[in-house]
Amino acid sequence: MTESCPYPLEPDTAQRLAEIFRALADPTRLRLIAEMMHHGRATVHQLASAVGVSVSAVSHQLRTLRQLRLVRAQRMGRHVWYSLDDDHVAALYCMGLDHVLHG
């Protein structure tokens, strides 16, 4: 873990890291992440229906998550599928949840 955790934390790295956590600091975005994690991938309509918000609200939140490389999109035929971008995202989500529930 030390290797992936350099010290000191440079101010510009701190800024970029804060942005990642800011993207996760929203209940709706967290619920979208929970859906993608559970189902592996989902369309924007599936996500809107699961989380109970509008398709345009989901699209907006997915854009934020994609810009920070937390979510990726893949077009297959007529559908665009959204999934978590890498294992870090699922791990951050689960570890945070573990802290909330049992920490």
The site for its own copies (CB under 8 A) is made up of 1, 4-9, 11, 13-22, 24-28, 30-31, 34-35, 37-38, 69, 85-86, 88-103
Which of 57/91 has CB closer to its own copies?
A: 91
Contact 93, 70 (CB under 8 A): no
Which of 15/78 has CB closer to its own copies?
A: 15
Task: Provide the minimum distance between the beta carbon of 85 and its own copies in the complex, in angstroms, as a whole number.
Answer: 7
Task: Provide the minimum distance between the beta carbon of 6 and its own copies in the complex, in angstroms, as a whole number.
Answer: 7
Task: Provide the minimum distance between the beta carbon of 62 and its own copies in the complex, in angstroms, as a whole number.
Answer: 17
Which of 25/80 has CB closer to its own copies?
A: 25
DSSP 9: -
Which residues, in sequence order, are CB contacts of 55 under 8 Å at separation 6+?
44, 45, 48
C-alpha of 34 from chain center: 9
Query: Residue 91: which of 17, 33, 15 has the closest Cα?
Result: 33
